[in-house]
Structure formats: C-alpha cells, structure tokens
A and B are shown apart, each in its own frame.
Chain A
Amino acid sequence: MTDKALPPGSGTAEDPAALAGGRIVVDGRPLPFRPGDPIAVAILRAGEQPARGGTLCLAGDCPNCLATVDGVSFVRTCQVPCRPGLRVERHPADGLPPLPSVQDSTLAEPPRHREIHVERREVEVAVIGGGRSGSAAAAQARARGRAVLVMDAADGSEVVAIYPGPTIVARTSAGMLHVHPEEIVVATGVAEIQPVCPGSHLAGLVTTRAAERLHAAGVDLGHAIAVGPPPDGVPCDPVSGRLVGFEGDEAGHVRAVVMADPATGDRRTIPCDTAVLGLGYAPRDVLARMAASGADGTGGAAEAVRVVGPAADDHPLPPAPADPSAVVCPCHQVTVVDLEGAWDRGFRELELLKRATLAGIGTCQGGACLPHVRAWISERTGTVPEPFTARPASRQITIAEAAANVHIDAFRRTPLHDEHLAAGAAMDRFGGWWRPWHYGNHLAEYWAVREGVSIGDVSTLGKVVVSGPDVVEFLERLYPCRIADIQPGRSRYALLLNERGHVMDDGMILREADTRFVLSFTSGGAANAEMWIRDWIDAWGLAVHVLDRTMSLAAINVTGPLAGRLLVRAGLADPPRFLRHAHAEVAGIPCHVMRLSFTGEAAWELHHPADRSVELWRALLELGRDLGVRPHGLQALFALRLEKGHVIVGMDTELDTTPRRLGMDWAVRMDKPAFIGRAALERTARLPDHRRLVGFTMDGPDAPVEGSPIWSAGDIIGHVTGSWHSPVLGRTVLLGWQKRTPFPESVEIDGRLAVVAATPFYDPEGRRARA
C-alpha cells in the first residue's frame, strides 16, 4: 500500500504532457487535460473523482461519473471529450443538481434555450455500435450492396432511442440525428457487472476495461488488486475467492478488499489503492429491448431489428445479492432490504419490483442493477425473469434535445384571420382553429345581434358534400332523424350518434338534389365526423361519394333583425326562409345561402369560396354601415346561444350523453327502422336515468363561472356548462348537469339560489328566428 493521496491519479498540472490539451474548469478550478481525454479521465488523472464514488466503468453503462457539463446535468463524463473552457460541476453528494436557469426566469422571460439542429437521414441499414461485431455486420451489409450507417458514441453518434417506424434518435456534436432505416443491427456489446456488496459506493473501484483505459491514458492506479480476471497490461495483484465487500477510509476511498474462501468461508482483507473488478458481463441490450417492445407498446420495430455479437449472447447472471445493506440500484440507492420489502408486499414480478422500488428507472436505466435484480428474483422463484421493458430515452437528454424539430399542433386560420386582427379581435383557439373571441366589446356585439345586424366568421364549421345513388339510404342509417322527407332546398337539424346512442356531434342536413346533400358539423367535431361517414359508407358498402369542403369554403353568418335587409342590399332579393337554402350571389360572390339560427335571431349562413371571403366580409361591413353592422366574436355568440338554450356538443355534452339527457328526444325518430345508436336508445329508454342537462335561472348581476359546482342538500350534484347574465332578460341564465335523482327543482350555485327553468330562455316560440 502506498501512502500517497487518493489514487487513482498521479497526473498533475506540472506534467507537461497534461497541459498539451488545455484546461477544463471543474467546480470553478482549472484542470488540465490531455488530447483525447474524456472529462472523467482528466479528473481522475488529477487525483479527484468525477462523482461521489462507486465502480467506474468508463463505458457509459454506470451512473457513477455523472456531473453537470456546460449547464447540462446528469452527463456521463466518461463519454464527453474535454475541450478548453468546458465547465464541469459535480453533483451534490446528497440530493440532485439544481435546475438550470429556471430560478431567474419568469413566464415573460423564459429561460434561454438552445436551438438544436436536427438532421434526418434515410438509410437501408443502420448499425448501432462500431466495435468488432458492428463493423463485421456493416461490412456484410455493404457487400450485399446496402447503404449502411454506423453509429457509435465513441465516434460522436450516441443513440438514445429507437421508436416504431423505425426511427433511431441519436445525439451528435452537431445536434440530433433522426435516422429512418429499413433494417437495424444492434451491436452494442456487453456491459461489465457492477459489484453489489458493502462498500460498493467507495471511490477507487473500477471495472477491468476501465482499468485498461486509465492505464492506457497514463493514469496511475497506485496499488491495484484484481478481483476476477486481471486486466491486460495493467500492473495489479490478482486475488482469489468470493468478493465480500470493500473497506474504505473517512474520505470515502477504498483501502481494502474483503474476500472469502469459497470452501471455508474464511475471510481475508487485502489492502489496495484501487480495486479492479472483473465480475462478468451483461448484454448491453437496452436499445434492442426498446426496439422490440416499441415506445408505445404497439409492437415496436422488432421485425426490422437484429442483435449481433456479444449483445446477443447469453451471459451468466451474477450471484444473487445477499447482504441486506448492499445497494443494488446506485441511481436510486435501492438496497436488498428494499427489494425484500417490496417482495413481501406482493410485488413479485420484475416489472412490479421496478415500479415499487424504482430500481431500474434511474439514469442508467438498469445498466447497473438489472442483472442483480434478475438474479435476486431467480433465486426466489427458480426462474430467470426476462429483462424489463426499455423505453426511450436510454440516456439523459435535455428537453431541448427531445423537443428539437417538434412542433405544437398547427391551428388553422380562416381566410378572415387578418380581417379579425385588423378589427382588434382578441383571438383564441377553439376546435383546432384560431377564432375571434371578441372585438373589444362583447356586449356591443351581443346587442348588434339582438337589435340590429352583425356578421360572424363561421368558416370553421364542418362542410361535407355527399352524393350518390345510395345517399338517402346512407343518411337514414347514419342519422336518428328522417331524411327522405327533406325536400331539395330544405334543411333539418340533426344529432350524430354513435352505436351506444351517445351524441358525437350535431349540425344541419341540407338537401341540394335527390341524390346530393350538404352536411354541416361542429368546428371541433368535423374531422371526426368525416372519418365516421367514410367508415360507415365502407362498412355498409353503399355507393356514396364524399367531399370534405371544410377548408375550401368559408362561411359568414349574417344575423339580427336587420340581417335580411342587409342581404337585400347585397343583391339577395329573396333571402331563403327559415330552414331553407339556395345558391345565389351575395355582393357578387357565389354563395350557398342557408337560413337557420343559432343566435335566436334571423340568420343566414353564406358559404362561399375561401378565396372570396375577405371580399364578401368587407362588402357586408360596407353595405351595412348605416345599419350599425359589426362583427361578433365567440364570447357574444356563446351568450346568444345560451339564451336560446342551444347545446354546444363538446362543451355542454359529455362522452356518454344521450339525446334524452339533453332533453332532445324530439331530434330522434324511434319509428325509423334502423339508425346508428337506435338499439342502445331503445334499450336504455326503458331504464331510469339519473342525469340531465337543464336550464337554470338566478338573480343577481354576476354569472357564476362555467364549471362551477351545482349543490343540493350539501352535496355536489353536477356542474355548470354555460353561464351568462342576460341583458335582454335581466337575469342570469345557465345550463348545467344534474346527476342525481330525484332531480331537485332548485339548487345552489356559487352560494346563491338557482331555479330550474325551461329552455329556451329567450323567445321560446322562436318567432324572432323565423321572422
């Protein structure tokens, strides 16, 4: 045993060779490195440790050299080459490193982020691992004329994930690399087994390959002893017997290895500066398992993946860890006692033990603990469990790396988007579209509809044309209302139900000819409705053509008592009557004019080519200037519809809402022989129901917020879906759910009395809408 300071590490700043590479900054102190040094090696050469201790593998398999590098925490310092000025901060001995940049940021000034470049490549064969077996596989593939890409962390391409597709995600010095191969060869070799015994947390423990690497780098290991097969070319003393544990000094460095005679059990303590551990191998197969199982459990990319070389071989498991205090999982400090505790609580499968103890979900993703946990289970059950599921990412990646080139959902803009902005609209996202919430004064917009004329952008409504010899038969089966008696030029409101009789969507059915209809749907439900239509046409084998015009046609709703007058000014001499529709020019623009009403006032929707929308919008505003025309946003529209008690599917409804629960049995013709949902409605009609959407009114100027709980006799029995203090009615009107019978006639909302009231609250006879 030598008496020098804590080996391994004899290199110093005075060593001229050490200065050749430059200096990195470790915890604020400059530290020299040699060309080619990974960070961990440079730190060890200086006689220090890259982390808190534990057996170093220097191969990227263990969690024992993690540090914060240039502001990024949990970086494997053995995998990162030094460069001048690189900043390294060791993680705290207890606890986690602080989150970078967050402390000084606000919502207004978020933390600075790096722009991560993403390169995409398509190859025929991707080989992960550039060692002997990987190189051989690459050569074989090239010999077959295949285009090959070899990725190896040592060469700057660290693969962190394989997704179904397959798509390989690798981290490179230039950013992220997304590779789309036809075939994947995993040649990742083997990892060295880590010790699980008392003292395994000490510094000065290295694996055999790490010892060889340190020796080659000129790092003095001091007095080294080898447990297991000795490393090639590294001066050390082999010891025999069964490894019992390690003894260390107060500084946390190993000072001796404790071995036991396998035959007698006699123990002996062998002093050392460094313990070199050759405890066996385990396949480095996390990526192979990830590819086989898939990131989302859908089967992954198994058919395209081949594992070759030592990674594909069977390797004996280590002895089952026995000492109760021994740390099995160094990432989460899971001990044998922890495993036993979880086992006793009934978590007796590998996946369950992982979840119960956290062993295997840490930074090394089971690289250190998995062989030991499998051995521990095998000793108890007599069966070796398969390794647990591997999911991306196998290495720590930053959020910026994970999010590189990833976009948030794209929200659609109507052709009138810029017009809304120019008019001062506050825009918000609804149903996948940007829509005007208001134009600065939602009350003025509301009154324009109730007393004058207003226009609204309803381009977002779904618009689907269906045509064909079987179209009537199809629609009769699709909708719960009658279709055959809708005459050309007429329209009908309809619910769209699923097989369980639940409301999926609603809209209008407009007949254009004997075999041609236009169907409208809600903005948020249109895409789903279109798929629904196509699926059923295919399922029933009916001859019906479908064309989705949602994004090809814009739509403007002209509504209010003066709306008809405005349309006449725009050249529509005879606007269609209620629930009728016609094709006509408005302000010189071809429109499909539909008379209906969602606002409770006279209303015409003008469906027109998207590229003429701005022209029509401006013309209507100009022609109606002296009528006080102004645009209205969603805030006013929602209030107007609430006064009429009109339901908005998705806002007022839930996934299992039936027509009966909405009080809309009138929209269902049970005397039709068949339609989607009929059987379920027939069955449930005989059963008592305990839910209903009803209207409420309450006094006071303040409307409760939507979502407010509805109370009765001290219990919450539902919630508010729509709420508005109606200027025209002089009271607050609400829609809300009652979900407990008997349904009370009065409830408490927001600490006030609310009384059940019939809907529509406004113009219950519908005279204004039909005027």
Chain B
Amino acid sequence: MPALDPIRGLRVVADPAALDAARWTAVGGDPGPVATDIDRITVLRFASDDAFALGATAVDVDDEHAIVEDEPGFVGGWCSLDDLRRHLEWSLPGARPVLCQGLIAGVPAKLWLPDDDDALLLTAVAFADVLSERLGWRR
C-alpha cells in the first residue's frame, strides 16, 4: 500500500532566469523516503519563479532577493498512475516528464510524472491525513 511521507528539499522563489541557471547541491543528510537519489536532485517548478528541489540542501541562485527556505510543508508518495485515475476529475497532460496539479479525491495536490507509469503524488502536509484516508493509503 502506498504511503505519504515527508519530503525534504529546498523551496526557492526567484527570477525565472536565475532559477533556470540555479546550481543545486545535496550535501549529506537523509534525503527522505520519497526523494530521489541523493546525487540526483529533482527540481519541481511550481511556477516560473517558484521551484521545489527534492533532495537539495543548498542552492546557488543569482538573485539577491531570492527567497530560499527549507521546505517541510509537503508530503508525497510514489504510486502508479492507475492507483490514482479514479480519484482524478481532470485530464492528465500528455507530456513527460511533467508537473501538474489539481484536486485528487477532492484534495489539492500535485503530481510529478517522470514517465507513463510512475507518479509522485505531493500534497501539503496539512492535507496529508485527509488525502491518505480518501485514497486508502498508509499514513
């Protein structure tokens, strides 16, 4: 049974061009159960000026006003898309990899789809329990 676990990473809001060129590093520490391999940081672009870098612990971004914060506000879990389809009332984009967002089982959530089979489901930690309950996932 899939589960929603804490996700570790860095949240950065900065100029889009600076974010495009940002250099991410992961230095030591446990990347958490759903983060990617510690040497392979996955950067989720929530918006053009907003990135969540899974597994990253530091960033070099050329924007003196950038907001850089440890991000403890999300939980996530890997699953197959088939686990989720009946809980979606919106169409998945066709491109891969892609980040998309919408209600899943009535809960605001994001989906990271690296390929056609796997999905990383993310939601705010405040919704973790209710989403787990509705999906029948372990928490």
> Which chain A residues have a beta carbon within 8 Å of chain B's beta carbons?
118-120, 122, 167, 178, 180, 405-415, 417, 433, 465, 467-469, 471, 515-516, 543, 545-547, 549, 551-553, 609-612
Instruction: Tell me which residues across on chain B come within 8 A of A471, comparing CB atoms.
Output: 65
Docked CA distance A553–B125 (Å): 10
Query: A547-B13, A551-B125, A612-B72 are known contacts; what are 5 more A-B pairs with Cβ within 8 Å?
Result: A180-B91, A408-B106, A433-B126, A467-B67, A611-B72
Instruction: Tell me which residues across on chain A come within 8 A of B6, comparing CB atoms.
Output: 611
Q: A406-B106, A412-B127, A469-B65 are in contact. Are A545 and B72 (CB under 8 A)?
A: no
Instruction: Tell me which residues across on chain B come within 8 A of A465, comparing CB atoms.
Output: 67, 69
Q: Is B66 at the interface (CB under 8 A from chain A)?
A: yes
B24 to chain A, nearest CB (A): 17
Docked CA distance A546–B128 (Å): 24
> Which chain B residues have a beta carbon within 8 Å of chain A's beta carbons?
6, 11, 13-14, 49-50, 65-67, 69-73, 85-92, 105-108, 124-131, 134
> Are B106 and A410 within 8 A (Cβ)?
yes
Q: Which of B49, B73, B87, B106 contacts A409 (CB 8 A)?
A: B106
A588 to chain B, nearest CB (A): 16
Instruction: Tell me which residues across on chain B come within 8 A of A411, comparing CB atoms.
Output: 130
Q: Which of A414, A546, A610 contacts B72 (CB 8 A)?
A: A610
Docked CA distance A417–B132 (Å): 15
Instruction: Tell me which residues across on chain A come within 8 A of B73, comparing CB atoms.
Output: 549, 551-553, 610
Instruction: Tell me which residues across on chain B come within 8 A of A413, comparing CB atoms.
Output: 126-130
Instruction: Tell me which residues across on chain B come within 8 A of A467, comparing CB atoms.
Output: 13, 65-67
Name which residue of chain B comes closest to A609, CB basis: B72
A609 to chain B, nearest CB (A): 4
> Are A167 and B65 within 8 A (Cβ)?
no
Docked CA distance A612–B73 (Å): 11
Instruction: Tell me which residues across on chain B come within 8 A of A118, comparing CB atoms.
Output: 86
Name which residue of chain B comes closest to A409, CB basis: B106
Instruction: Tell me which residues across on chain B come within 8 A of A412, comparing CB atoms.
Output: 124, 126-127, 130
Docked CA distance A543–B70 (Å): 23
> Are A552 and B71 within 8 A (Cβ)?
yes
Instruction: Tell me which residues across on chain A come within 8 A of B125, comparing CB atoms.
Output: 415, 551-552, 610-611
Name which residue of chain B comes closest to A180, CB basis: B91
Docked CA distance A93–B13 (Å): 68
A459 to chain B, nearest CB (A): 8
Docked CA distance A415–B126 (Å): 7
> Are A545 and B65 within 8 A (Cβ)?
yes
Q: Which of B65, B91, B108, B134 contacts A468 (CB 8 A)?
A: B65
Docked CA distance A516–B63 (Å): 13
A751 to chain B, nearest CB (A): 44
Instruction: Tell me which residues across on chain B come within 8 A of A612, comparing CB atoms.
Output: 72
> Are A410 and B130 within 8 A (Cβ)?
yes
Docked CA distance A405–B126 (Å): 22
> Are B131 and A120 within 8 A (Cβ)?
no
Docked CA distance A120–B67 (Å): 40
Name which residue of chain A comes closest to B71, CB basis: A552
> Are A551 and B65 within 8 A (Cβ)?
no
Docked CA distance A610–B69 (Å): 13
Instruction: Tell me which residues across on chain A come within 8 A of B106, comparing CB atoms.
Output: 406-410
Docked CA distance A551–B71 (Å): 10
> Are B11 and A545 within 8 A (Cβ)?
no
Q: List 28 A-B contacts (CB under 8 A).
A: A118-B86, A120-B85, A122-B91, A167-B89, A178-B89, A405-B86, A405-B87, A405-B89, A407-B105, A407-B134, A409-B106, A410-B106, A410-B108, A410-B131, A413-B128, A413-B130, A414-B126, A467-B13, A469-B65, A516-B67, A543-B65, A545-B65, A545-B66, A547-B67, A549-B73, A552-B11, A552-B69, A611-B72
Name which residue of chain B comes closest to A612, CB basis: B72
Which of A118, A178, A415, A552: most chain B CB closer than 10 A?
A552
Mostly, the B contact residues are mixed
A45 to chain B, nearest CB (A): 40
> Are A547 and B69 within 8 A (Cβ)?
yes
> Are A549 and B91 within 8 A (Cβ)?
no
Instruction: Tell me which residues across on chain A come within 8 A of B128, comparing CB atoms.
Output: 413
Docked CA distance A406–B129 (Å): 18
B85 to chain A, nearest CB (A): 6
Docked CA distance A593–B87 (Å): 41
Instruction: Tell me which residues across on chain A come within 8 A of B14, comparing CB atoms.
Output: 545
Name which residue of chain A comes closest to B12, CB basis: A547
Q: A468-B65, A549-B69, A551-B126 are in contact. Are A120 and B86 (CB under 8 A)?
A: yes
Name which residue of chain A comes closest to B49, CB basis: A545
Instruction: Tell me which residues across on chain B come within 8 A of A406, comparing CB atoms.
Output: 106
Instruction: Tell me which residues across on chain A come within 8 A of B107, comparing CB atoms.
Output: 407, 410
Docked CA distance A409–B134 (Å): 12
Docked CA distance A515–B65 (Å): 7
Docked CA distance A407–B73 (Å): 23
Name which residue of chain A comes closest to B108, CB basis: A410
Docked CA distance A697–B65 (Å): 50
Docked CA distance A441–B50 (Å): 44
Name which residue of chain A comes closest to B87, CB basis: A405
Per CB-CB distance, the 6 closest pairs between chain A and chain B, nearest first, are A407-B106, A552-B73, A412-B126, A551-B124, A611-B72, A609-B72
A551 to chain B, nearest CB (A): 4
> Are B11 and A547 within 8 A (Cβ)?
yes
A460 to chain B, nearest CB (A): 9
Name which residue of chain A comes closest to B133, CB basis: A410
Docked CA distance A409–B108 (Å): 10
Instruction: Tell me which residues across on chain A come within 8 A of B86, comparing CB atoms.
Output: 118-120, 405
Instruction: Tell me which residues across on chain A come within 8 A of B49, comparing CB atoms.
Output: 545
Which of B70, B92, B128, B130: most chain A CB closer than 10 A?
B130
> Are B67 and A552 within 8 A (Cβ)?
no
Name which residue of chain A comes closest to B92, CB basis: A122
Instruction: Tell me which residues across on chain B come within 8 A of A469, comparing CB atoms.
Output: 65
> Are B129 and A417 within 8 A (Cβ)?
yes
Docked CA distance A609–B74 (Å): 11
Which of A120, A410, A516: most chain B CB closer than 10 A?
A410
Q: Which of A120, A515, A552, A610 contacts B89 (CB 8 A)?
A: A120
Instruction: Tell me which residues across on chain A come within 8 A of B126, comparing CB atoms.
Output: 412-414, 433, 551, 610
Instruction: Tell me which residues across on chain B come within 8 A of A433, comparing CB atoms.
Output: 126
Instruction: Tell me which residues across on chain A come within 8 A of B70, comparing CB atoms.
Output: 609
A101 to chain B, nearest CB (A): 25
Docked CA distance A551–B67 (Å): 16
Instruction: Tell me which residues across on chain A come within 8 A of B91, comparing CB atoms.
Output: 122, 180
Which of A120, A406, A413, A545: most chain B CB closer than 10 A?
A545
Docked CA distance A122–B86 (Å): 11
Name which residue of chain A comes closest to B131, CB basis: A410
Instruction: Tell me which residues across on chain A come within 8 A of B127, comparing CB atoms.
Output: 410, 412-413
Docked CA distance A173–B97 (Å): 37
Docked CA distance A515–B64 (Å): 10
B8 to chain A, nearest CB (A): 9
Docked CA distance A293–B128 (Å): 38
Docked CA distance A716–B14 (Å): 54
Name which residue of chain A comes closest to B88, CB basis: A120
Instruction: Tell me which residues across on chain B come within 8 A of A414, comparing CB atoms.
Output: 126
Docked CA distance A122–B70 (Å): 38
Docked CA distance A414–B129 (Å): 10
